[in-house]
Amino acid sequence: MKLTPLRILFIAMTSGIFISGCGLILKGFDSPENAGTISGNLTGVDVGATVILRSFKNGSLVKVAEGITTENGDFFVTPEVPLERGFHQVIINKRWPLVLITDSTEAPTIQANIPVDNQYLIDALIEGSEESSLLAQFYAVIMPLQDSLLDSQKAISTLSNEQKTEANKAMKMLIAEIDKTSLTFIKENEGHPATLAALEPLKIEKHSAAYKSVLKSLATSFSDSDYYVMLKKKYDASTTARTIPNQPPPKKTTRKNGQYAAGDEALDIVMTDPDGNVRKLSDLRGKVVLLDFWASWCGPCRRENPAVVKAYEKYNSQGFEVFSVSLDSNADKWKNAIEKDGLVWPYHVCDLKGWGNAASRAYGISSIPHALLVGRDGVIIETHLRGRALETELEKLFK
């Protein structure tokens, strides 16, 4: 989700907040009307650091409240609309996140040191929310492992062949450790919502049994949460998802630029993003998705990008996502174009084969830009969407 600068509002003495010593004292803090407020103390941040509270809704993080730190590092945020029970995130200066599982009946307090290297507050002390505290314990173990894996994935392209062999072995060991940690946490905490977070590092094809077990254990108590719904759709889609073969399938019908049209089920795409992470089109089942074929060297594509960015900013919070497939062959040019054009969505994939891109061949793409709008059920709604045509279709869907 793209973060945009918003006006910061901070009212101190006039709202009944008093600062004493090192702690933040909220007038009447223990009273029921203060439930739903998230407060705490942060060390290692400057006065006036932003503290944003976001809720997980429709596959995205939606901002619901904001505050700033005092000279002592104290903060508090209170959403205007009561929080529903589910996954929420506190993020400091748009850089250091912390995930909570809470609702408006709780008033969690957070004590944390801002890390120098890590980008996740893994040593945070959370009180007033048992489920958030349990989740923090899991992240304290899993995040360093995932950071190490990500660093290894980024560095491997600079290594010699011999070094790559050893690096791949080390990465396999890291993945095995991540899987073991996640599965152990799930086994030891059956029925707790925090186990949903332990599914995220696990490849669903390999650990479908774990997904099934967690989803079943929370079907009664937590199935209304957006995070549960997202993972349930991901699990359901995995049982029927179709993947792109090595060679494109036989052409179904003769169509201009593309052999799939409205009413066809979108063929799945499994490809890596700029950081080497595997991205799947099927992971977005349950969202409205613009499948966009483009390239950094394509002038019309670059001129079309502002319209796509505008649509993403307008409808992403309502369940709209963009899955961009690049026909580039130069990784640096591809990455630079993403940054320069402000294509902030995370779903960018490319196999660096130019016009030989496996996804474009499978879809029968003969010219770009070319976009298909895919419905929540994975069925194509419309093709050849550009500019105003895209805006018109989205207006119908999200009216």
Retrieve residue 224's tokens: 């209304």
- CA 270, distance to chain mean position in Å, is 17
Summary mean pLDDT of the chain? 82
Is the pLDDT reported for residue 54 higher than 70? yes
What pLDDT shows up at residue 214? 95
Mean pLDDT of 65-75: 94
Of 181, 216, 238, the one marking the end of a domain is: 238
Whether pLDDT at 249 is above 60: no
Q: Does the pLDDT of residue 47 top 60, yes or no?
A: yes
**Contact of 238 with 282, CB cutoff 8 Å:** yes
Q: Is the pLDDT reported for residue 163 higher than 50?
A: yes
Residue 278 lies inside a defined structural domain of this protein: yes
pLDDT digits (tens, 9 = 90+) for 212-244: 999 999 999 999 999 999 888 888 876 654 444
pLDDT band at 288 (very low <50, low <70, confident <90, very high): very high
Q: How many CB atoms lie within 10 A of CB 270?
A: 16
- Evaluate if residue 345 carries a pLDDT over 70: yes
- Specify whether 105 is located in the same domain as 25: yes
Letter string b/e over residues 113-131, b meaning 16 or more CB atoms within 10 A of that residue's CB: bbeeeeebbbebebebbeb
Q: Residue 166 above 90 pLDDT?
A: no
Q: Please tell me whether residues 363 and 308 are part of one structural domain.
A: yes
One domain for residues 393 and 346:
yes
Least confident span in 80-94, 118-132, 243-257? 243-257
- Quote the number of domains for the chain: 3
Residues 227 and 188 in one domain: yes
Residue 20 lies in a domain: yes
Residue 398 contacts residue 58 (beta carbons within 8 Å): no
Same domain, 382 and 293: yes
Listed residues 101, 127, 153: the one ending a domain: 127
114 and 159 both lie in a single domain: no
User: What is the pTM assigned to this prediction?
Assistant: 0.55
Q: Give the pLDDT band of residue 248 (cuts 50, 70, 90).
A: very low
Q: Span 97-120, mean pLDDT?
A: 88
Does residue 375 lie within any of the structural domains?
A: yes
Q: How far apart are CA 376 and CA 36, in angstroms?
A: 32
pLDDT digits 0-9 by tens, 172-196: 899 999 999 999 999 999 999 999 9
Task: Provide the CATH number for the domain around residue 344.
Answer: 3.40.30.10
Residue 2 lies in a domain: no
Same-domain pairing of 148 and 111:
no
Query: Are 160 and 198 part of one and the same domain?
Result: yes
Note the pLDDT tens digit of each residue in 366-392. Answer: 889 999 999 988 889 988 887 788 888
CATH number at residue 38: 2.60.40.1120
Position 344 in a domain: yes
In a domain, 348, yes or no: yes
Residue 95 has pLDDT above 90, yes or no: no
With 70 as the cut, is the pLDDT of residue 116 above it?
Answer: yes
- pLDDT given at position 28: 32
Residue-level pLDDT at 34 = 58
Say if residue 148 is in the same domain as residue 233.
yes
| 261 falls within a domain | no
Same domain for 101 and 180, yes or no, is: no
Residues 123 and 146 in one domain: no
Assigned domain for 199 exists: yes
| Owning domain of residue 223 | 140-238
The mean pLDDT of 162-167, rounded to a whole number, is: 82
Clarify whether residues 306 and 352 are in a common domain.
Answer: yes
- Reported as a pLDDT band with limits 50, 70 and 90, residue 49 is very high
